Chain A
Amino acid sequence: MFELLNVNFKNIIRYPALKIDEYKVTFICGKSGSGKSTLLKLLNASVSPDEGEILYHSIPVTDYDTVLLRREVILASQSVYLSDLSIRDNFAEYYSYRGLPSPKDSVIREFLDLCIASFPLDSNCRELSGGERQRVFLAICLSFLPNVLMLDEPTSALDEVTANALLHSLTHYCHEKKITLIAITHDLALAEKYADDLILLPTEELK
């Protein structure tokens, strides 16, 4: 579904040719500096490479209306942004940016449960821990039901038990709903456990 050909980003990162398949769970691993986060930003065309091509369904990503592409291919970035409002209001805020009406409480609860974040909808996001905020944010992203969900270090702030529970639930749901899941992690053990495909990015400096 995604294809990278000779992609060179600012002469700092040169990606190997790679493919990401539809409906699968693909994990991307690599040392810091190997360009994992940049890869996801290249895939949703929020940054552009200096050379090479990125294809989505065989068409260059920049040939799409990039806003619509990013609605289809959602990236949950590593830095979580939530307002100091209730969980319900944060859902509403994100939905309004997407031009959608606020979701029903039952819908919010469904996705919070899926992301192991079953907190009361009135709880203020300011009072949640880093890991809890990350899961609430993931629930918001997932609730848009994209074709592709890209996660940048979804388990970075989680303990092992919660991380496993989250990935178990997410991979299950995505398989069931035919959502292609692409996730970055530095935790190879987790990746091997949940991935259908695993991409290892080499760290090679370009001189």
Chain B
Amino acid sequence: MNGIIVLNLWQFGAVYLLLLVVLGIMKKCHIDQTKLLVVGSLRMTLQLVLAGLILTYIFKNPHPIFVLLYLTSMMGMAIHTVLSRNKGINSRFKLIVSLSLVLTGLAVILFFILGVVGVSFFNPQYTIPISGMIVGNAMTGVSLGVKTFHETINSQKTKIDTLINIGASPKSILIPYVNKSLETALLPTLNSMLGMGIISLPGMMTGQILSGTLPTTAILYQIAIMIAITAVTCLAVFCSLYFGYHTLYNDKNQMLI
């Protein structure tokens, strides 16, 4: 197996030509998102260049504090993203969502790094990229789950009020929405497992193969990370909603929505 071909700057620059194609089509179809495309691709370039430089530095000078800092900022960004997509929820709910994301994320990361891969938690080469995949997917799941839950509850106020008034407990009213939202949040991950290896070769596996890893090794990592992603999505969304729904009513069983 050969190592990966290092891209030189000219070769690399060529890929941006593809963006011009996108731009052309957007102009023709009057899609008014050119700014988003430009800002998006610029931010992506900048953020990834930065990540590349920082990771190179950390790999050359490994120190536990770098791993912790990287993880902390990753968690911080994930929380920020979830909360900014779910502005309407109350502050106790926000706290529960944040805690769920951090605690379930950490638990699955620890299990994966120490239990499955069996390297030191402070080995940046493993912990940082794997945490990125785990936290990123937990973030998407929680975002979708909480959004679905919040929007459904808001659209069902009449039903909820009616049920409260005939003596249904807030728990029995809200749990069906918790379950349904958890299902909605899990479906994309579950569905993505179906096509894997046939329709798509997932990113991590492709990366490892390009770097010269044997495909048989790469698939083991891919399978392991997919299962970890499914688990963290399920755990993070479950904890967020299951502990979060209690913030929607008070000790007199009055709804606070």
Contact = CB atoms under 8 A, between A and B. Distances in A.
B151 interface: no
A45 B166 contact: no
A70 B173 CA distance: 14
Interface residues of B, number: 17
Given A71-B167, A97-B173, A98-B167, A79 B162 contact: yes
A97 B165 contact: no
Contacts of A72: 167
B219 interface: no
A47 B165 contact: no
A97 B165 CA distance: 12
Contacts of B252: 45, 48, 62, 66
A99 B167 CA distance: 10
Interface string A129-163: 00000000000110010000000000000000000
A77 B161 contact: yes
Contacts of B191: none
Contacts of B254: 45-48, 66
Nearest to B165: A75
A77 B169 contact: no
A182 interface: no
B66 to A, nearest CB: 52
A12 interface: no
B168 interface: yes
B246 interface: no
B163 interface: yes
B159 interface: yes
Contact of A68 (B162, B167, B173): B167
Contacts of A77: 161-162, 165
A82 to B, nearest CB: 9
B253 interface: yes
Contact of B167 (A47, A48, A74): A74
A76 interface: yes
Nearest to B160: A81
B73 interface: no
Nearest to B250: A48
A66 B199 CA distance: 55
The 6 closest A-B pairs by CB, nearest first: A71-B167, A70-B167, A75-B165, A97-B168, A81-B162, A66-B253
Interface of B: 158-159, 161-169, 172-173, 252-255
Interface of A: 41, 44-48, 62, 66-72, 74-77, 79-81, 94, 97-99, 140-141, 144
